[in-house]
Amino acid sequence: MQKPYEIAYFARKHGITQAQARQITKDFGPSRVRCDTAAQELNLAVARSSPRMSDGRHLSSLPKE
């Protein structure tokens, strides 16, 4: 049996907040596969709802100044 994810590592791995990581591991843990899938689905949902430029790129892909 796999050990549950460490919250900070899981958050960094998926580019999510520690609060989001905590909630996902609470809801879908201890299965790492289920947690990874939930984080990927969260990222897809965020990507679908984020503003896009006319060429299809996400505004978040622009370099930060």
pLDDT tens digits for range 20-51: 999 999 999 999 999 999 999 999 998 888 77
Answer whether residue 60 is part of any domain. no
**Helices and strands counted in the chain (H then E):** 3, 0
- How many domains does the chain fold into? 1
Q: Which domain holds residue 39?
A: 7-49
Answer whether residue 58 is part of any domain. no
Answer whether residue 2 is part of any domain. no
Answer whether residue 28 is part of any domain. yes
pLDDT mean across residues, the chain: 86
Q: What is the pTM of this model?
A: 0.73
Q: Please list, in sequence order, all residues whose beta carbon lies within 8 angstroms of the beta carbon of residue 1, skipping any fewer than 6 positions away.
A: 30
